Amino acid sequence: MDIKLTDKAKKKLEDEYSKGKYYKIVSMGCCQGAKFEFLSMPREPEDQIFKIEGLAIGVDSDVDDILKDVTIDYIEGFIQKRFKIYLN
């Protein structure tokens, strides 16, 4: 799996990790197909861990075989602030 971070995502992750948080890519299945999110969740023993630019990025075991190339961005809109995954 190839994971890229935008500058905004890297900066936000560094801040979040300094607070002891852990983030991972998960699949939020729905009737219209899988939707992938990057969320702060408890670390599971079966999570795959990728070191990207010095940061540990978790990937849920259900997602590892599905995704091949993603970019993680951090967006700050009027209503919400969150990480967003783009499939490359």
**Listing from the earlier edge strand, what are the strands of the sheet with 36-40?**
36-40, 23-27, 55-59, 48-52
CATH number of the domain that 64 lies in? 2.60.300.12
User: β-pairing, 36-40 with 48-52?
Assistant: unpaired
Region 75-86: mean pLDDT is 93
* Structural domain containing residue 75: 2-87
Q: Of 54, 84, 72, 81, whose CA–CA distance to 1 is shortest? A: 72
What was the pLDDT predicted at 30?
A: 64
Q: What is the pLDDT of residues 22-32, one digit of tens each?
A: 999 998 866 56
Looking at the structure of the chain, the number of domains it has is: 1
Q: What is the pLDDT of residues 31-76, one digit of tens each?
A: 566 789 999 999 999 999 999 989 999 999 888 778 889 999 999 9
Distances (CA, A) of 1 to 4, 41, 80, 82: 10, 20, 28, 22
